[in-house]
Structure 1
Amino acid sequence: MRSVLGKIYAYKALDDLILIYPLYAVMFVDHGVSPSQLALLFAVWSAVGLALEVPSGILADHLSRKHLLAAGQLIRAAGYACWLLFPSFWGYLAGFVLWGIKGALQSGTFEALVYDELDRRGAADDYAKVIGRARASGIVAILMAMLAASGVHRLGGYELLMVLSVAAVIAAAVVALALPSAPRAQSTGEVDYLAHLKQALGEALSTVAILRPMLVVVTLWTLGGSLDEFWGIYGEEAGLSRDAIPIYYAATYATSALAAALAYRLSGAPAAALYGVVILAGGLLIAAADMMSPAGMLLLAVFAGLVKLIDINFETRMQHAISTERRATIASLAGFLWTVGSIGLYLAFGQIAERWSYGAAFMTFGVVMVLSGAAFLFSRAFRRI
């Protein structure tokens, strides 16, 4: 059992050990990608995953899951190779399409493989502990990659970062092939994805106790979770060196992790107080956009922590309101709406940055967050969450 768990944790760590991550947006800009093109790259990345959600689920229920995981990693490696060999908008677009395919192939597949193997060994009750530790190993790997990226970039620039990222992805594919192939005890739940979304939408619209926190969660995920793709651009615009940007990026990620660990302490806080934190977070984003300086990057780190603190609490309230048999479908709906919202945010962000500046784009969405928090705060219905 220990050997199997080691492979599971190693796979998740290698999956997230991507050294180019904190600098890839800056790399795109350095190779002539415009703000609107950058936003389009992110939007296409999200759209590919969304479009392939259903067919990837069918594959995961009919083919070997470990082979799908390995294939997905090799497809992502090919995408990173496109970035390395063809450093232009079209090369980056091809890379994101391939990365999107990998994301769709892995969506739910890794979790199902872990559950099935534990179930085969009579340890299904340990699933939450095992998957939690796997995700923790991924978080540690991300932080390690961010901290290492600074020194690696100094030694060999973007090219060395890309080569090492490709190496990590290929290593993940090798580990995936070493994972067990247990008989299927549980479907990935994606074959009837569209039907699930329809069921979830019906229940959410008819149950205000679910709809209200879900709308808040999707808003926070869209404004907070999607904007982090642009933190590297903020650092570049603020005058940070390419070697310093990953360090600030790591600080932002660390505050999110700390907030996630402490979020439960606000589980009993009134909704109105949490909306006040939303407004505060939006104010910090506005202030950071106005500063566009290294000090502003520290404000973004606090912003990221506050958003994580709030979204976990509202997600918990949403989960409490959902009946057990509909929990996965409502979560699917929330994720679907987040992806759609993210695509809209990316495209709008790019247009604003193209027409005015990146600072103006950050400021715009800071204002949107303040207004969203205020709308929730002054709505009698949303104060009763």
Structure 2
Amino acid sequence: MSSTSGSDLRRFLGVYYAYRFLFDFMLAYAIYTALFELEGLSVSEIGVLLAFWSASAIVLEMPSGALSDHFDRRVLLVAAPLAKALTFVCWAVAAGNFWLYGLGFLFWSLGQALYSGSSEALLYERMEADGRSGDFDKVLGRANAAEGLGIGFGTLLGGFVAAWSFDWAIWLSIPPLLVAAVLALVLQDARDRAHREEDADAGNYLSHFVHAAREFRQHPDLRFVTVYMAAGLIVFELLEEFDQLYYLAASVPVWAWGILGAGIEGVYALASVHAHRLAGRPWLAWGLPLAGGILLVLASIGANPWFVLLLCAAYVVIAPVTVLAEARFQRVMEGRSRATTTSALVMAENVGGIAATLLFAWIADRIGILPAYGWAGVAMMPLALWVVLGQRRGLRATD
């Protein structure tokens, strides 16, 4: 790779990391589920909203991935933060209206669907075009870290702003998304530079769904890592949506919510950056989720605010296997319709998220939010056993 090409790649990655940071730099992260409860919604209603969020993502995910494979990925990456910004416009004026909160989640799902398949596909193809696909897990770890830092700094600032005004925490989530839309204009689609002759024979829009289905049919490891993430690691992601209710139950002061969120994301980002150093250790695929589950069980005691540190640790230990599993997913596939296939993974995660969110909310309503976290931790035990049995058959969930 020439020095000019290397310089171009560094500039691309700098903009890409900034985009990932800004896409999730939202002050609302610190308070939105607590806002719903304080505005009069029950835990079950919040669970329904979160399940609707996942359901709408299922409907939108693969069509947006196919659009990304068929057209310039930049168009979707510009539209994604603009759609997401409409979420906070809806929430700012909702004043307890369940349906406006739901409309906000619909816009969030649209923005996330436009972003999810396109962002990883664009990154992998750019790395591949520059002969650097072997470094993808390292770069993906840094990209996930940038995203995590965006969440962390947004949550930190959001906690302090929300202590003064919940409304301002919602409104101030919009400007970073507008800046992200501008930055996306710089993220050139590598396929524009490749001049691949097969583009002329790529087929129509619907052919991308056929290609994605073929990928899953032909690659057992692709199916294995999809189930691993969609039915296993997704538990930790959905729990974060209920964390503010945990904070309330554990008597954590509102001013500390942002500090906790920023601390989690900061350490999570560090773990993501160094995740590539842990590649080649198959036991991590079952060992780290099991460790996270044990920490969730301990955190469920929640007798005082200090137990929240165990919850934070549970999220952090999952970071390396999340990066390694995502990298393996990208490497296993052939990539003819990469964004559509990636969107299928995200869609599967949302299907798993719906079931797990509704079950968690149902359990929390009946036995309390803290014990529900404990049962979520227990669920990691069968996951660990399933991974061990899969590895004995030659399947791998992580690189």
Band of TM-score, shorter chain: 0.7 to 0.9
Q: Deviations over 1:97-121 (max 9, x none)?
A: 11111122233345666789x79xx
The 5 A counterparts of 1:258-273 are 258-271=270-283
The 5 A counterparts of 1:131-142 are 136-142=145-151
Q: 1:199 aligns with which of 210, 214, 230?
A: 214
Q: 1:223 aligns with which of 225, 231, 235?
A: 235
Q: 1:196 to 1:236 in 2, by over 3 A?
A: farther
Q: Which moved more, 1:42-51 or 1:66-75?
A: 66-75
Residue ranges of structure 1 left out of the alignment (5+ in a row):
none
1:358 counterpart residue number: 369
The 5 A counterparts of 1:116-127 are 124-125=130-131
Q: 1:327 to 1:374 in 2, by over 3 A?
A: farther
Q: 2:360 aligns with which of 333, 349, 362?
A: 349
Are positions 1:281 and 2:292 aligned together?
Answer: yes
Are positions 1:250 and 2:262 aligned together?
Answer: yes
CA–CA distance in structure 1, aligned partners of residues 66 and 161 of structure 2:
40
1:293 counterpart residue number: 304
Q: 1:334 to 1:131 in 2, by over 3 A?
A: closer
Q: 1:185 to 1:45 in 2, by over 3 A?
A: farther
Q: 1:165 aligns with which of 170, 173, 182?
A: 173
1:96 counterpart residue number: 105
C-alpha displacement at 1:84, in angstroms? 0.6
Q: Deviations over 1:160-217 (max 9, x none)?
A: 111211222233334446767898457899854532342133224xx4x555555434
> Which secondary structure state, in structure 2, belongs to the residue aligned with residue 170 of structure 1?
helix
- Identical-residue share of aligned pairs (%): 30
> Which secondary structure state, in structure 2, belongs to the residue aligned with residue 104 of structure 1?
helix
C-alpha displacement at 1:359, in angstroms? 1.7
Q: Deviations over 1:140-166 (max 9, x none)?
A: 332221222232223x31111112112
Q: Which moved more, 1:172-181 or 1:234-243?
A: 172-181
Q: Normalized against structure 2, the TM-score is what?
A: 0.78
Q: 1:22 to 1:325 in 2, by over 3 A?
A: same
C-alpha displacement at 1:28, in angstroms? 1.3
Q: Which letter maps to 1:108?
A: G
Q: Deviations over 1:234-267 (max 9, x none)?
A: 1122111211112112222233223323434443
> Which secondary structure state, in structure 1, belongs to the residue aligned with residue 105 of structure 2?
helix
The 5 A counterparts of 1:13-28 are 13-28=21-36
Q: Normalized against structure 1, the TM-score is what?
A: 0.80
Q: Which letter maps to 1:242?
A: V
**Number of aligned residue pairs:** 376
Check conservation: 1:231, 1:249, Cα contact below 8 A. no
CA–CA distance in structure 2, aligned partners of residues 126 and 316 of structure 1:
13
Are positions 1:239 and 2:247 aligned together?
Answer: no
2:117 counterpart residue number: 108
Residue ranges of structure 2 left out of the alignment (5+ in a row):
1-7
Q: 1:202 to 1:261 in 2, by over 3 A?
A: same
C-alpha displacement at 1:314, in angstroms? 5.3
CA–CA distance in structure 2, aligned partners of residues 112 and 373 of structure 1:
29
Q: 1:103 to 1:283 in 2, by over 3 A?
A: same
Q: Which moved more, 1:141-150 or 1:192-201?
A: 192-201
Q: Which moved more, 1:338-347 or 1:169-178?
A: 169-178
CA–CA distance in structure 2, aligned partners of residues 167 and 277 of structure 1:
37
> Which secondary structure state, in structure 2, belongs to the residue aligned with residue 93 of structure 1?
helix
Q: Which moved more, 1:170-179 or 1:368-377?
A: 170-179
Over aligned residue pairs, what C-alpha RMSD do you find?
3.8
> Which secondary structure state, in structure 2, belongs to the residue aligned with residue 169 of structure 1?
helix
